[in-house]
Chains A and B, each alone.
Chain A
């Protein structure tokens, strides 16, 4: 079965530290890749996405992610975190297989809770 693994469940960093959150998926075909973020008390929102082209994608708020096809990975990075980055981060994968002839499913990882200490 297709799955998405986020190995870091809880990460605690000090402000200005660098961040890397791991994401691996199990699917041999073509995929679209996403990172979503949920700030405390807010709804989930898209951070960045990869569909094709340059495997290094840049998102909002200084985040970036690199797609490494050979490793089935899509790790999220930020050179210098801020207290306002405290949130839960979800990696998601959309295997390009049609269901019901109409749309694709988005499979989420279990999430990584990031706490940034001021």
Chain B
């Protein structure tokens, strides 16, 4: 069974902290994505990566960075967490071309106090 694993289900951090959200997929997918999900706003794309060490900004990249050193792992980094980054973060992956469906992780609920 295919799997996208996010390292933490719940995370509580303080304003100004550096936060790492980790995502690992076991399907050898080329593409990986980070979304945030907020009530009434749906899913918004933060960053995506179509290959190792490659990244593209999504619609709301400000305040975030990403790292993809290995094909199976895609990390989202909040350099200095702020309260408006409190959200559900979803990682997803798929094969090149997007004809393939997205596989989602279970999400990380991040609270920044």
A residues contacting B by CB (< 8 A) are 4, 6, 9, 32, 34, 36, 42-46, 49, 51, 90, 92, 94, 99-100, 102-111
Contact = CB atoms under 8 A, between A and B. Distances in A.
Contact of A111 (B42, B92, B104, B106): B42
Interface in B1-26: 4
Contact of A108 (B43, B50, B99, B101): B43
B74 to A, nearest CB: 13
What's the interface size class on B, roughly?
20 to 34
Given A9-B40, A46-B101, A100 B45 contact: no
A106 B50 contact: no
A53 to B, nearest CB: 13
A44 B101 contact: no
Interface of B: 4, 30-31, 33, 35, 40-45, 48, 50-51, 54, 56, 58, 90, 92, 96-99, 101-102, 104-107
Contacts of B97: 103-104
Most buried by B among A34, A36, A108: A108
Contact of A44 (B30, B90, B99): B90
A49 B98 CA distance: 11
Given A43-B104, A46-B102, A105 B41 contact: no
23 contacts: A4-B42, A6-B42, A9-B40, A32-B98, A36-B102, A43-B105, A44-B92, A44-B102, A44-B104, A46-B102, A90-B42, A94-B98, A102-B30, A102-B31, A103-B30, A103-B48, A104-B97, A106-B33, A106-B98, A107-B45, A108-B42, A110-B41, A110-B42
